[in-house]
A and B are shown apart, each in its own frame.
Chain A
């Protein structure tokens, strides 16, 4: 793929992942020169339907989102899910927990029937996703690395080990040792333990590792006098749509 045509799209989301592309700073000019950006609503007026790679932010939260996603999937050869909402449904799934119909009524009252809203789902619930740039937001370098790998004909490397590995590597003090809670033992790394490094517990915005050791997390919690329920609420923040398989049970 020499100079691929790229489309950048947003479904239900905050625009933060698209913004991270505009935030590439010193690499921005190189990035937009290495690819041919043919669609990017947040940044450019020109738009076309000829993209080979689609970078998609956001989850599917309306029928209209679904129509757009299906159209994109017909055109694009490669789909990259960008960010937590696209990858796992992200925070948007909290609405499902509350109940979509109930949420419509709470926010729009007797005008709720004017509103197009369905249960939120990640995009791979509807179309085949080739690569996942996880996180809320994903790191800028990760988005670039995936696209770069594709241009060079390589398979992008996505970490599948827990955040604890990165904390250890950085020499961070474990938050459990200073009275905090953290999803690090089961959460997928790749962010360079960004939140624990800033003194804040990991919220597993990148989802769990493929084979999370839930027992280890349970043992750890017991050791610090906490229960699974204490932190599962927190895990729900980004992962309410995806059932976590509790292997090693």
Chain B
């Protein structure tokens, strides 16, 4: 039992980037709790200044290897909004398909490679090879299919190439789409097997209601585009995000902290499920039901389950999109829309796997960026991670130090923090005073 604790987890592993947790408890009271972000800041908002409109999507995709598609699309959509580019259906469907590809890539990486070892009681995916070879086989295969989705549509599995402002430099082939369809359909037995594994897991019972923010759309389970909405009852256009979303610099983190209606909010899979559950495919809803996930869900550890349900939805919806594209046929002459650069501001908000991602560019008359503002989902979650930890620690304070440390690490990992985006990694050393 721990009355006084001084925990530093440095770095927290199995997160994409660097983060440290500092926790100081005296007489069971939290004296200090900080989720520190010491990762090297990279200053993308400065890098973009002066760059021509054709370059920002290639530059900003390099903010994060794991969500390079989301950055590409948020960037392209911001530029297209500034120039008033009108896109056709073919371009939109292909982009949505690539977006689903990344959703499966990233959610699969997190659920199977990074979070599953916690729930299956091992240190990483390497020992899983011996203890749960079937889970590793499923994970590797699913990752392969998702990589192929992004490769077929975007030209490369990490940092897509053919997706540019106005459309595509090259369309996928019909054969490529047919092969993808086959690979996607072959995933269903693996999804069923995964469902059984996930049903058997005993997730920590921890609830703390917060504000849930994501984009929303009347027709789709919004990932590629939609208005920004909150579970606290507001909905605004992309262009107006600054009327609700606030940012501040905090000393212990190179990632800024964000707030909207309360002192913190959550973005990501659980926010999307909480706000847009109705728009999930019928099949995905059935998976959600079997896993006991129904909105509103206030258990942060259920993010992993929400990510899995989203994999099911993305597989279903990708097959639908491919069928529609095959039905209408691919038309090279419609690969690009007209792009005429002009001065003005544009905002693109896309759901990256980890949550709403905002790119906001101001262009000069030559089509060069004069100002850029980027708000990254992991940044948006930082303040909420700290609030969750403040609630979690007292609830598990009577456990052993190792259990407390693991509990905190698991909570942070549940957010799937992609710290390279914003900037860092998690360090926890536990010294009992």
A11, A94, A237, most chain B CB atoms within 10 A: A94
**Least Cβ–Cβ distance between B362 and chain A, in angstroms:** 13
Which of B126, B143, B161 is the one whose CB lies under 8 Å from A194?
B161
Indicate if B6 sits at the interface (CB-CB under 8 A). no
Query: Are B68 and A32 interface neighbours, CB within 8 A?
Result: no
Are A22 and B126 in contact (CB-based, < 8 A)? no
CB neighbours of B155 from chain A (8 A):
194-195, 197-200
A9 to chain B, nearest CB (A): 11
Among residues 226 to 262 in chain B, which have CB atoms less than 8 Å away from a CB atom of chain A? 249, 251, 254
Which residues of A are at the interface with B, using a C-beta cutoff of 8 A? 10-20, 22-23, 25-26, 28-29, 32-33, 37, 41-47, 58, 61-62, 64-65, 90-92, 94-95, 98, 100, 102-104, 106-109, 111, 114-117, 136-137, 194-195, 197-200, 203, 233-234, 237
Q: Answer whether A25 and B158 are a contact pair too, CB < 8 Å, given A14-B62, A41-B11, A46-B124.
A: no
Complex contact A237–B43 (CB within 8 A): no
B164 part of interface (Cβ distance < 8 Å) = yes
If the complex has contacts A25-B140, A43-B113, are A13 and B59 also in contact, measured as CB distance less than 8 A?
no
CB–CB A95/B43 < 8 A: yes
Q: From residue A194, how far is it (CB to closest CB) to chain B in Å?
A: 6
Contact B42 A198 (CB under 8 A): no
Smallest Cβ-Cβ distance to A65: which chain B residue: B40
The CA of A53 and the CA of B164, in the complex, are separated in Å by: 38
Smallest CB-CB A-B distances: 6 pairs: A16-B65, A198-B155, A199-B169, A44-B124, A103-B46, A12-B40
Q: In the complex, what residues of B have CB within 8 A of residue A107's CB?
A: 41, 43, 45-46
From A10, A12, A37, A107, name the one whose CB has the most chain B CB atoms within 10 angstroms.
A107
Q: A15-B65, A107-B43, A111-B249 are in contact. Are A195 and B143 (CB under 8 A)?
A: no
Give Cα distance in the complex from A109 to B124, angstroms. 40
- Minimum CB–CB distance from B81 to chain A (whole Å) comes to 22
Q: Give 30 CB contacts A-B under 8 Å.
A: A10-B17, A10-B420, A12-B40, A14-B68, A15-B16, A16-B62, A16-B68, A16-B159, A17-B65, A19-B158, A20-B158, A23-B147, A42-B13, A42-B15, A43-B113, A43-B114, A44-B126, A45-B124, A61-B42, A91-B62, A94-B46, A98-B43, A106-B49, A107-B45, A109-B249, A116-B40, A136-B62, A198-B155, A234-B55, A237-B59
Asked if A200 and B161 make an inter-chain contact with CB atoms under 8 angstroms apart, the answer reads yes
Query: Quick one: closest B residue to A63, CB to CB?
Result: B40
- List residues of chain B with CB under 8 Å of any chain A CB: 11, 13-18, 38-43, 45-47, 49-52, 55, 58-59, 62-66, 68, 109, 113-114, 117, 123-126, 129, 136, 140, 143-144, 147, 155-159, 161-162, 164, 168-170, 249, 251, 254, 418, 420-421, 425
In the bound assembly, the distance between CA atoms of A102 and B161 in angstroms comes to 31
Interface centre among A26, A43, A194 (most CB of B within 10 A): A43
In the bound complex, residues from chain B placing their C-beta under 8 Å from that of A10 are 17-18, 420
A13 to B126, CA, bound (A): 24
Distance in Å: Cβ of A240 to nearest Cβ of chain B: 10
- Residue of B whose beta carbon sits closest to that of A28: B140
Residue on A nearest B125 in the bound complex, by CB: A43
Smallest CB gap from B122: residue in A = A45
A45 touches which one: B13, B52, B68, B129 (CB < 8 A)? B13
Q: Collect the chain A residues with CB atoms within 8 Å of residue B15's CB.
A: 42
Q: How far is the CB of B131 from the nearest CB of chain A, in Å?
A: 14
Report Cα–Cα, A95/B43, bound state, in Å. 6
- CB within 8 A of B47: which of A91, A108, A109, A194? A91
Which of A13, A94, A136, A194 is close to B420, meaning CB atoms less than 8 Å apart? A13
> B249 touching A114 by the CB < 8 A rule?
yes
**Given A19-B109, A23-B158, A237-B59: 6 more A-B contacts, CB < 8 Å:** A14-B62, A32-B126, A41-B14, A44-B123, A199-B162, A200-B162
Q: Is the CB of A46 within 8 A of B123?
A: yes
Q: Which of B46, B124, B169 has the most CB of A within 10 A?
A: B46
B144 adjacent to A25 (CB under 8 Å): yes
Partner of B170 from A20, A29, A44, A199 at Cβ < 8 Å: A199
**Inter-chain contact A41/B13, CB cutoff 8 Å:** yes
Q: Report B-chain residues with C-beta under 8 Å of the C-beta of A114.
A: 249, 251
What residues on A are CB-neighbors of B126 within 8 Å?
32, 37, 44
Q: Are A44 and B13 in contact (CB under 8 A)?
A: yes
